[in-house]
């Protein structure tokens, strides 16, 4: 299984994906820089990504806690999510996200 991550330079990377891993962990394990300063505790907004609109309906909606954290993120859009809050499942094979400004290590 794979996810496709677009970096800040616009390059897309195919990253191996594993069920029950957080998208933030997959990005890090794939060797791409993403801050994730709180380690995935939904206590910051430094793992902010943009989810490809075609995938938005396939992932669980954001919690109130996540929405509150996104209020502090840079350049929030309709498709903004915290990658630590997206749990990868086999149904998300091929998921496309882009790293957002302020989230690069």
> Which CATH number covers residue 75?
3.10.20.30
Whole-model pTM? 0.95
Within-domain flag for 80: yes
Closest alpha carbon to 40 in 20, 15, 23, 16: 23
Structural domain of 27? 2-99
Q: What is the tally of structural domains in the chain?
A: 1
Pick from 56, 55, 3, 62: which is nearest to 29 by CA?
Answer: 3
Tens of pLDDT, residue by residue over 22-63, are 999 999 999 999 998 888 899 889 999 999 999 999 999 999
Integer Cα distance of 34 and 57 in angstroms: 24
Give the model's pLDDT for residue 52. 98
């Amino acid at each position: 299984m794979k996810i496709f991550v677009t970096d800040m330079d616009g390059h897309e990377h195919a990253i191996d994906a594993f069920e029950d891993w957080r998208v933030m962990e997959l990005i890090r394990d794939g060797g791409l820089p993403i801050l994730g300063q709180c380690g995935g505790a939904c206590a910051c907004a430094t793992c902010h990504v943009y989810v490809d609109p075609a995938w938005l309906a396939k992932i669980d909606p954001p919690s109130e806690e996540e929405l509150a954290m996104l209020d502090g993120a840079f350049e929030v859009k309709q498709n903004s999510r915290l990658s630590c809050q997206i749990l990868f499942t086999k149904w998300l094979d091929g998921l496309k996200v882009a790293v957002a400004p302020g989230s690069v290590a």
